[in-house]
Amino acid sequence: MIIAATDTTSTALTWFTWLVSKHPIVENKIIEELESKIPVSETKRRRLFNVDEVKNLVYLHGALYEALRLYPPVPFNHKEPLKPDMLPSGHPVHPKTKVLFSVYSMGRMKSIWGEDCYEFKPERWINERGEIKHEPSYKFLSFGSGPRKCLGKETSFIQIKAVASALIYNYRIHVMEETPIIPAVSVVLHTKHGLMTRISKRWE
Ligand code: HEM
């Protein structure tokens, strides 16, 4: 729980916070969705959101999945076959061979996500009926795929959603860009220099 859950969720929230601060239109749409789906009285502006309240937030889901696609907290992974196998490319794989794959790169491939693959676009995850658009786990690999995929996927996502709602709804977050916001080369995709921010209350 401690190893698998701590750095992954905090890293996901860090990249999400940075991406939202760079995309004010997305930030406004998240607030609009919170206000329309979870109405709040004028006198009680500041608030926290519970699991049931955030469950059906479609736009926020899309924004968080976009952050996880562009900045997967576990940026690479490896697998090895139990018996001799062949990759779709025609390359044979021996049971003792580890196949390393970059989840980070796969989230940014035009052949997988289309021409706009570098764009932070929550709408990518919303279908024409306004519902969450599901993608196969072998395409969106941020939580892995198959029998050993992340056990904490649902738990972590709902936690992240509740924290992200409270952060964006209650505070204006201005990212200080004195140091570049770039990924660190590591097993978990931390921001190399952290994320320095100036935070103010949104409702005063
Ligand atoms: C944003 C948050 C998280 C991300 C991106 C993430 C990602 C991953 C990935 C990529 C794997 C490897 C899957 C594979 O090899 O196919 C994994 C495994 C795992 N995760 Fe997570 N994880 C997150 C949060 C959590 C949390 C909160 C927990 C626990 C409550 C957790 C528990 C586990 C466990 C136990 C495994 C090993 C599963 C196995 O080997 O059978 N994860 N996670």
Which residue in 138, 123, 174, 132 sits closest to 157, CA to CA? 132
Residue nearest to atom 31 of ligand 1 (CA): 152
Report the C-alpha gap between 58 and 68 in whole angstroms.
Answer: 15
What's this model's pTM, rounded to 2 decimal places?
0.95
CA 204 to chain centre: 30
Residues 12-48 pLDDT 10s? 999 999 999 999 999 999 999 999 998 776 556 778 8
Report how far ligand 1's centroid is from the alpha carbon of 172 (Å).
30
Residue nearest to atom 39 of ligand 1 (CA): 148
Residue nearest to atom 17 of ligand 1 (CA): 150
ipTM for this prediction: 0.97
The answer to whether 60 and 161 have CB atoms below 8 angstroms apart is yes
Residue 127 neighbours by CB distance under 10 Å: 11
Q: For the chain, what is the mean pLDDT?
A: 94
Residues 6+ apart with CB under 8 A from 166: 47, 48, 49
Element (DSSP H or E) covering residue 127: none
The answer to whether 167 and 174 have CB atoms below 8 angstroms apart is no
> Which domains are seen in the chain, by residue range?
2-70+118-201 (1.10.630.10)
Verify whether ligand 1 is closer than 6 Å to residue 67 (CB atom): no
Helices (H), 38-181: 51-54, 58-70, 103-106, 110-113, 153-170
Residues 117-127 pLDDT 10s? 999 999 999 99
Out of 6, 8, 188, mutate this one to test ligand 1's pocket (max ligand atoms within 8 Å of CB): namely 8
